[in-house]
Structure 1
Amino acid sequence: MERLAESVAELRQTFKSGKTRSVGWRKNQLKALSELVRDNEEKFFEALYQDLGKHPVEAYRDEIGVVVKSVDCALSCVEKWAASKKASLPLLFFPSRAEVIPEPFGVVLIFGSWNFPISLVLDPLIGAISAGNAAILKPSDLAPACSYLLANLIPQYLDRNAVKVIEGGVDVSQQLLQQKWDKIFFTGSPSVGRIVMAAAAQHLTPVTLELGGKCPAIVDTISKTYDMKVTMKRIVGGKWGPCSGQACIGIDYLLVEEKFASFLIDSLQKILRRFYGENPRESKSICRIINNHHFMRLKSLMKDPLVADSIVHGGSFDEEKLFIEPTILLNPPLDSELMTGEIFGPLLPIITLNNIQESIEFINSRPKPLAIYAFTGDESFKKQIVAETSSGCVVFNDTMVQFICDTLPFGGVGQSGFGRYHGKYSFDTFSHEKSVLHRGFFPELEPRYPPWNDFKLKFIKLAYSFKYLELLLLLLGFKK
């Protein structure tokens, strides 16, 4: 605990010196972070394979490339983001001027997640540095190779007096939460998010919680053969492609009309064989389950006899290799744990409906998801989904791609979290927008002061209603 307190105190001293507020310092740190990732690409590939079995292509797509893209964006924009912005003022304030100045929070704490153990640590850090903060990073101990690599590389490239990595398990996380922070950024499960939020409340620390939830994909009837083939590839990619389903924005379940279910299952099976071969456990393109605890959790979801009876594809597993075959289930019980909790694994339930319009009511009867995916060409149905559901985001006719778009905010709503980041939104998340109003000493409006009378009441009412002509007439005595 003493060492943690010393680390936090050192960061506070660094921030207090004003060093991190300099745009030059921010750009130098961003350049160093870019070099760190590019110089050590192969080391990151190796660590990601050790922890999760990620193929280098998947590792670059979901981790390394994400960081490179984000840091390049920040480097090209940080001067603009950090500049003060002129604010407009009502005529009543004439002659005055105002500006909004983004200022860093101070010393921030960033908790990473094990499923994307590089990008979900470094991507928020880009926002923290861009905004001029000092930071402590806590990588997930469930991805030890990546945690070790970050802890060893970051001091070699970044300012060690302003950015530190603290490794450890639950006990270390608890000790970190006992410290006073100026901002906490957490990526993980809703259950742990509640713990983080409760701890932050002790110091009234603002938090950003990037959580999860059951992200549905609505599959409407699509007439064109090519569009249907693309749909199937994107569904498989959005379910099993990111970390074997261990992704907060991955598809959790499908909603489809009953008459379309058998065709959907056949089509998905074909794409699965195309992507992962006849024997997926031999494929090098699919990740393993992170550890034995999560393996047994997923295995137990299939133990329920009614759930097991709903399996229409897959269902095999290899405990030694922590492998679970991509599995499709048709209409498992809605009150089963499979359908009430976030799956976070390679199991895909398909829920059939009489009419695809019922999907909106189905989604609304459950906690708000981080993402809703919908494959449809029906423009009126698209409008209905946007207007009648609530989620962190909506994506039509694709999956996952919203995560890599720096011009869109990424974040949840309700149980799927709150706060947002990516691109300029990352900078905003780690900044406080301070308003600055510049006033002179003339004119002095006496009606703002006591003693009160009817004239002053009329004056204030007109001022607040922006009726400036009537206000002027009142002051000149032409209006009573």
Structure 2
Amino acid sequence: MEVKRVVKEAREAFESGVTRSYSWRRSQLRALKAILLEKEADIFNALKLDLGKHRIEAYRDEVDVPLVCFPATGEIVAEPLGVVLIFSSWNFPIGLSFEPLVGAIAAGNAVVLKPSELAPASSAFLATNLPKYLDNSVKVVEGASHIGEQLLEHKWDKIFFTGSSRVGRIIMTAAAKHLTPVTLELGGKCPAIIDTLSRARDIEVTINRVAGAKWGPCSGQACIAIDYLLVEEQFAPLLVDLLKAKIKKTYKDPENSARIVHKQHFQRLSNFLNDSAVAASVVYGGSFNAESLLIEPTILLNPPLDSEIMREEIFGPLLPVITLKKIEDSIEFLKVRPKPLVIYAFTVDEKLKRRVIEETSSGSITFNDAMLQFAVDSLPFGGTGESGFGKYHGKFSFDQFSHGKAILRRSFLIELSCRYPPWNEWKLQFIRYIYRFYYIGIILMLLGLKR
């Protein structure tokens, strides 16, 4: 019960928002400094009892920053991790293979790529062509899930996985055997806050971008696709009508929609509507064609929040619209749910934008557009919590597949005898003095740079 209480109180403290403020961070760091200054004798005594450390040795090693390395230079050298395993996904089978592959190769790794068997033509393309263009350090292994399981039995220096949280847990379990570092690019229910329906000039753009991010690429079968909408009650009828019109104009024709990738996924999506309460919330669409694996773009208004469609990532053309008394309630709505890969917010309200940034947690936030952030290589892409961890794209991909090895270089020019026993009071005072002198010099140097 004590452990449970401690964990609960720590979580409550974080959720209160107190730790986010600058004043809290500064006060806590100052408190840590006060412990070192005011409780120095107690620290010396504890280290003496536990480790037999002399108080001067303790001061040198644990109470202050060691100066024994002065003068010295330091650098960070990027080195490849070794042999990395990349699992790519079926929904963007080429792009989600090349994107991490570029980073892994740029960092100097050997790579084994396992494309998804659910996109067999793309998998075959990669298996056929990558060996023709790249040397033997990059290999492609095709096959179903049992091949992936066989790959996970081996030791890797890094595993990069794009896919579902269910399989992500399997990846982590296998990686733990060898303490292999893992990057997981998972999904999550990416919400979109709609706060532009009172602004006539922004409505059409909002609808275009929302519809494009739900029924455009892969018909919602993308980890960064909009999963559901949050809107004020008063604007819900207008939003639904505008979305209906957009579907009829642009996405009704099957030629403008992507089919569901396979029967199991089609069945999963159709099962969402088996719940009678969910089916009753359908205000547009809802038809399925099991033979062609096509699902009509579908809008649902306020399906039960405890239903499967509101608990699981949809990954398809079904779009729930959730109404709120006021749009500011969206903050609390999101805070009590798992962290999404992306939060989208269509608004010109700077206060609301600031609250979304400061009071919610997600892999990223995009204002007034959707899915576009994936194409911006100067921004890292990745999740947090159940939406995954690890960032990539552009330089972040290089960093993801590199180890930053710290290098310290010293000369034989200066040797401080105070770093060695036998200990005496003079050495302690000298260490104290030299530390203070060193810090004053650093402060003066920084002030000089500012000028």
Quickly name the TM-score band, shorter chain normalised. 0.7 to 0.9
List alignment gaps of at least 5 residues for structure 2: 1-64, 443-451
- Cα deviation, residue 238, structure 1: 1.0
Q: Tell me the equivalent position of 1:257.
A: 232
Q: Tell me the equivalent position of 2:422.
A: 451
The letter of the residue matching 2:424 is N
- Which of these residues, 184, 203, 212, is aligned with residue 178 of structure 2? 203
Inter-CA distance 302–466: structure 2 relative to 1 (3 Å threshold) = farther
Inter-CA distance 306–200: structure 2 relative to 1 (3 Å threshold) = same
Q: Tell me the equivalent position of 1:324.
A: 295
- Cα deviation, residue 149, structure 1: 1.1
SS of the residue 2:184 aligns to: strand
- Cα deviation, residue 455, structure 1: 3.3
Distance in structure 2 (CA, Å) of the matches to 1:355 and 1:92: 60
- Alignment deviations for residues 161-205 of structure 1 (CA, whole Å, 9 cap, x no partner): 100000011111011001111111000011110110111111111
- Cα deviation, residue 368, structure 1: 0.3
Distance in structure 2 (CA, Å) of the matches to 1:141 and 1:217: 31
List alignment gaps of at least 5 residues for structure 1: 1-88, 472-480
- Cα deviation, residue 335, structure 1: 0.5
Q: Tell me the equivalent position of 2:326.
A: 355
- Cα deviation, residue 463, structure 1: 5.4
Distance in structure 1 (CA, Å) of the matches to 2:429 and 2:361: 44
Q: Tell me the equivalent position of 1:102.
A: 78
Q: Tell me the equivalent position of 2:376.
A: 405
- Which of these residues, 213, 225, 249, is aligned with residue 238 of structure 1? 213
Distance in structure 1 (CA, Å) of the matches to 2:259 and 2:271: 17
Inter-CA distance 149–469: structure 2 relative to 1 (3 Å threshold) = closer
Distance in structure 2 (CA, Å) of the matches to 1:391 and 1:470: 41
SS of the residue 1:441 aligns to: coil
- Which of these residues, 93, 97, 122, is aligned with residue 117 of structure 1? 93
SS of the residue 1:194 aligns to: helix
SS of the residue 1:398 aligns to: coil
- Cα deviation, residue 458, structure 1: 3.8
- Which of these residues, 103, 121, 128, is aligned with residue 145 of structure 1? 121
The answer to whether the 8 Å contact 1:222/1:376 transfers is no
Count, aligned residues: 378
Distance in structure 2 (CA, Å) of the matches to 1:270 and 1:433: 53
- Alignment deviations for residues 74-128 of structure 1 (CA, whole Å, 9 cap, x no partner): xxxxxxxxxxxxxxx9987443222211111111000001111111111100001
Mapping of residues 2-17 of structure 1, within 5 Å: none
Distance in structure 2 (CA, Å) of the matches to 1:269 and 1:259: 17
The letter of the residue matching 2:390 is G
- Cα deviation, residue 394, structure 1: 0.4
Question: Which sits farther off after the overlay, 381-390 or 219-228?
Answer: 219-228
- Cα deviation, residue 222, structure 1: 4.1
The letter of the residue matching 1:297 is R
The answer to whether the 8 Å contact 2:197/2:239 transfers is no
Mapping of residues 26-41 of structure 1, within 5 Å: none
Distance in structure 1 (CA, Å) of the matches to 2:304 and 2:435: 58
Q: Tell me the equivalent position of 1:40.
A: none
Q: Tell me the equivalent position of 2:246.
A: 271
Mapping of residues 259-338 of structure 1, within 5 Å: 259-276=234-251, 280=252, 282-338=253-309
Distance in structure 2 (CA, Å) of the matches to 1:405 and 1:164: 28
CA RMSD of aligned residues (A): 1.9
The letter of the residue matching 1:97 is T
Distance in structure 2 (CA, Å) of the matches to 1:460 and 1:193: 50
The TM-score, its normalising length taken from structure 1, stands at: 0.76
- Which of these residues, 201, 217, 220, is aligned with residue 226 of structure 1? 201
- Cα deviation, residue 448, structure 1: 1.5
Inter-CA distance 117–93: structure 2 relative to 1 (3 Å threshold) = same
SS of the residue 2:299 aligns to: strand
The letter of the residue matching 2:129 is L
Distance in structure 2 (CA, Å) of the matches to 1:275 and 1:139: 32
- Cα deviation, residue 454, structure 1: 3.0
The TM-score, its normalising length taken from structure 2, stands at: 0.81
Inter-CA distance 414–461: structure 2 relative to 1 (3 Å threshold) = farther
Distance in structure 2 (CA, Å) of the matches to 1:114 and 1:182: 24
The answer to whether the 8 Å contact 2:107/2:398 transfers is yes
- Cα deviation, residue 272, structure 1: 1.3
The answer to whether the 8 Å contact 1:462/1:470 transfers is no
Q: Tell me the equivalent position of 1:215.
A: 190
The answer to whether the 8 Å contact 1:222/1:377 transfers is no
SS of the residue 1:284 aligns to: helix
Distance in structure 2 (CA, Å) of the matches to 1:305 and 1:394: 34
The answer to whether the 8 Å contact 2:90/2:119 transfers is yes
The answer to whether the 8 Å contact 2:197/2:235 transfers is no
- Cα deviation, residue 384, structure 1: 0.7
The letter of the residue matching 2:146 is D
Distance in structure 2 (CA, Å) of the matches to 1:465 and 1:241: 62
Inter-CA distance 106–350: structure 2 relative to 1 (3 Å threshold) = same
The letter of the residue matching 1:224 is R
SS of the residue 2:255 aligns to: coil
Q: Tell me the equivalent position of 2:108.
A: 132
The letter of the residue matching 1:178 is E
Q: Tell me the equivalent position of 2:23.
A: none
The answer to whether the 8 Å contact 1:222/1:228 transfers is yes
The letter of the residue matching 2:246 is I
Q: Tell me the equivalent position of 1:154.
A: 130
- Which of these residues, 387, 400, 403, is aligned with residue 358 of structure 2? 387
The answer to whether the 8 Å contact 1:92/1:468 transfers is no
